[in-house]
Homo-oligomer: A and B are copies of this chain.
Amino acid sequence: MLKKSTLEHVISNDLSELWGVLTHAEKRKITDNFIIHTFKKNQIIYAEKEEPEYLWCLLSGKVKMYKNGIGDRVQILRLYRPVQYFGYRAYFANELYVSSAAAFEPSVLGAVPMQVVEELIRGNMDVAMYFIHELSRNLGGSDTKIVNLTQKHIRGRLAEALLLLADNYGLEDDGATLRIYMSREDLANLSNMTTSNAIRTLACFVNEKLIIVDGRRIKIVNEPMLRKISKFG
């Protein structure tokens, strides 16, 4: 548990769209109902088929939302960075979770009971519009992902995943190294391929001087070409 002061500091410094539309009283309502949780690397935050109870707010660390599929296969659906909100979809849909969420690395999260979130929505139209906007963007993303994952070839899918990571977690000061270090297995689960093929295709990209790999550090050295490979399929 973090001290409340730390929490308020983290939140109030954030530029999250949601936070921006809240009144002082509403912010108060959230901080009063905020429960801080810390998660270890790979610890599960919630799992498929569970009842959705909280909106989760990622304060620090990285989180993956994924779905267990056929056999032992896993598909990573979305990635979260501070400060983003997730875990609310199933509640709004009046369903159990259809996916799971886990910490990629040690992370700090806040949990707000969905009931409180619904009250906030009903009390502030801007909050409602925020969720409509977020859900709409996610839906567009998922629809696009359907086509990318089913129609692109392995190289296109991996290139796309690398660009997504750059987009989502940014680059280090050298302007090239991905600010996330994930296992080949996670990379495979993100791009719908086997771990072997993620390793092989990554080696391919190194050979073609598109990236430089040092363990889990991935440096993008030819982004235009990666983008081309991703686009073509």
| B75 and A146 form a contact (CB under 8 A) | yes
Stoichiometry, copies per complex: 2
Q: A138-B139, A139-B138 are in contact. Are A144 and B98 (CB under 8 A)?
A: yes
CB A87 to nearest CB in B, in angstroms, measures 12
Q: Which of B70, B91, B138 contacts A233 (CB 8 A)?
A: B70
- Bound CA–CA A89/B132 (angstroms): 9
Chain B contacts of A89 at CB under 8 A? 136, 139-140
Which residues of A are interface residues toward B (Cβ below 8 A)?
A: 67, 69-71, 73, 75, 77, 89-95, 98-99, 121-122, 125, 128-129, 131-133, 135-140, 142-147, 149-152, 192, 232-233
30 A-B pairs in the complex with CB atoms less than 8 angstroms apart: A67-B143, A67-B146, A69-B147, A70-B151, A70-B233, A75-B151, A77-B143, A92-B133, A93-B139, A94-B133, A95-B136, A95-B137, A98-B143, A121-B132, A122-B129, A125-B125, A125-B128, A128-B129, A128-B132, A132-B132, A135-B135, A135-B136, A135-B139, A138-B139, A139-B139, A142-B146, A146-B149, A149-B149, A150-B150, A150-B192
